[in-house]
Amino acid sequence: MTSAITILTDNFADWETALLNSTARLYYGFYTRFATPGGQPVTSSGGMLVTPQLALEDILLDELDLLMVCGGSSWQSGKAPDLTALLRAAQAKNIVLAGICDGTRVLAQAGVLDNVRHTSNSAANLLETGYAGAALYQDVPWAVADQRIITAPGTAPVSFTAEVLRALGIVDDNLAGYLAMHGAEHGQANRAHLAA
């Protein structure tokens, strides 16, 4: 069974990893869990209370396939946990690493993005971390995957879901249809905007 852990902090962005976790658990049988600092409950930006299964310090990498960092305002608060050792160890074990929105800042701070193509909410967002990968930044509105590391701006949960699942070897017609359904609004909105 594929095992996935999503790291959450207070004020995490509800929508960013919800589609991925739901799709992975319901349709592909993943074992999905959530981890927080100290294993404490956290409240999302939308007010959803989450009681995690794990504390960050209890994450075991030996049987893990995917480690995700969900975005949220805590990552820029100065009070965020330091995930450097955990993320570097996961990368060394070839675990798929994924960050969306300010979760990409966490990957950058850990040095995970120094040698892979990546994206974020903006190039400036990552430059603030002092990371060494700025030359590989991709200024695109969708997820970028490179060497089992997936990054995305907070506005791209559909392509983020697609790229993470693709990195785990899941590419099928059902998934393509499901993601097309969720992404259809973006295409319609773009066409309407261009026609106006």
User: Looking at residue 118, which CATH number applies to its domain?
Assistant: 3.40.50.880
Residue 32 lies in a domain: yes
Q: Is residue 180 part of a domain?
A: no
Inside any domain, residue 181: no
Taking the mean position of all CA atoms in its chain, how far away is CA 93? 18
- Structural domain contains residue 12: yes
What confidence score (pLDDT) does residue 117 get?
98
DSSP string, 95-106: -EEEEETTHHHH
The answer to whether the beta carbons of residues 54 and 35 sit under 8 Å apart is yes
pTM exceeds 0.85, yes or no: yes
Domain hosting residue 162, numbered range: 3-171
* Strands 149-152, 144-146: pairing kind: antiparallel
What number is the average pLDDT over the span 119-140?
A: 96
pLDDT of residue 185: 65
Per-residue pLDDT reduced to its tens digit, 21-68: 999 999 999 999 999 999 999 999 999 999 999 999 999 999 999 999
The pLDDT mean for the chain works out to 92
Neighbour-count burial of 191, counting CB atoms closer than 10 A to its CB (0-12 exposed, 13-18 middle, 19+ buried)? exposed
pLDDT of residue 114: 98
Among candidates 165, 158, 169, which has minimal Cα distance to 100? 158
Least confident window among 5-19, 83-97, 175-189: 175-189
Residue 189: what pLDDT? Answer: 46
Domain assignment present for 43 = yes
Whether residue 17 is contained in a domain is answered as yes
What is the structure's pLDDT at 144?
Answer: 97
Q: Give CA–CA dist 71/159, Å, rounded.
A: 15
> Does 38 fall in a domain?
yes
Q: What six digits make up the tokens of 163?
A: 């790229």
> What is the pLDDT at residue 193?
35
Q: Give pLDDT tens digits for 172-193.
A: 888 888 778 877 766 654 444 3
Answer whether residue 108 is part of any domain: yes
Q: β-pairing, 54-55 with 144-146?
A: unpaired
Number of domains the chain contains: 1
